[in-house]
Amino acid sequence: MSIENISSNKSFGGWHKQYTHRSKVLNCDMRFAIYLPPQASAGEAVPALYWLSGLTCTDENFMQKSGVQRIAAELGIAIIAPDTGPRGDDVADDDAYDLGKGAGFYINATQAPWNRHYQMYDYIVKELPELIEASFPISAMRSISGHSMGGHGALTIALKNPLRYRSVSAFSPISNPINCPWGQKVFTQYLGDDKTQWLEHDASELMRMARQFIPARVEQGNADPFLEEQLKPESLSAAAKVSGYPLELNSHDGYDHSYYFIASFIEEHLRFHAAHLQT
C-alpha cells in the first residue's frame, strides 16, 4: 500500500508529517498525521500512541493544539493521528455536524448508505496500524487515546482488543453512547434499530463485562457543557466497579471540553502510556 507525503515540519528534534493513502477498508482516500520522535530518525523502532479526535476534527486539531510533540520527543513515542472519518465527494454525508463526514464514531456501519465507506473500526484496528508499521520505524507496542467521540473510540477499541494495546486513555469521552443523544443518533443511522448491536460499541457496557484488563485513565472537566447530557462519566465509573476494571477517572474543576483542557494534561497522559509501553 503506497503513501504520499504532503507536509513535513521539524519539531523538538523529530518530524511531524502528513500523508495520504488509498484506504481499501474505507473505499476512499485518507489522510493521517504522524509525529516521529528523534529516536525514530536514528533508526530505532519506537512505540506508538494512536490519537482519535472528536466530532468535526481532522488529523490536524490535536497535532497543532495539544503541544504533544515536546513530551513525545523526550519519551521516544510516535504519535499517529488519523482523520475522524472517510472523506470524498462520493462519501455519504449529512448537514448536521454530528453525523456523516467528521463523525465516523470509530465503528463499522452496517446500514446503507453509510456502510459503503464508514468502516472506521477496521481502519483504526487493522488497516492503519499495518500501514504505519510497514512504512515507519514503529514497533508493535501500541497504546490508544482520544477526545470526546475519539475518547469513545479509544475506550471501546481497547476494551474489545486488550491484547493489541498496552494502555488506553481518554479526555471527556462519550462514555455511554447508547444513553446519550449523540450516540443514539449515530447508532440508529450506522447500525440500525436493533439496540443489541449498539452494546458492542458502548464503553460502559464493555467495561462492565470486561474480563481482560489493561490500564485505563480518563480525564474529565467539571465545567464541560456536554458533561451531563452527552458524556456520562458516572456510567463508566459504575461499570468499572462492577468488573473491577483498573480505571483511573480524574475530575477537574473549571475545565471545559476544549483543547485548553487537553493541553493541560496531555503530558500526564503520555507519561502514563510510556510507563506501560516500556514494559
- Return d(Cα 139, Cα 159) in angstroms, integer: 21
Is 247:216 a contact under the CB 8 Å cutoff?
yes
- Which residue type does 253 have? D
Task: Check 147, 257, 269, 273 and give the catalytic one.
Answer: 257
Q: Is 117 a catalytic residue?
A: no
Q: Is 23 a catalytic residue?
A: no
Task: Check 23, 66, 145, 148 and give the catalytic one.
Answer: 148
Cite the beta strand spans of 53-100 per DSSP E: 78-82
The CA-CA-CA angle for residues 199, 203, 208, to 5°, reads 80
Task: Check 66, 175, 224, 235 and give the catalytic one.
Answer: 224
What are 85's three cell numbers? 472519518
Q: Is 257 a catalytic residue?
A: yes
**Which residue in the block uniquely carries the three cell numbers 434499530?**
193
Cα within 13 Å of Cα(17), Cβ side: 16
Q: Which residues are catalytic?
A: 148, 224, 257
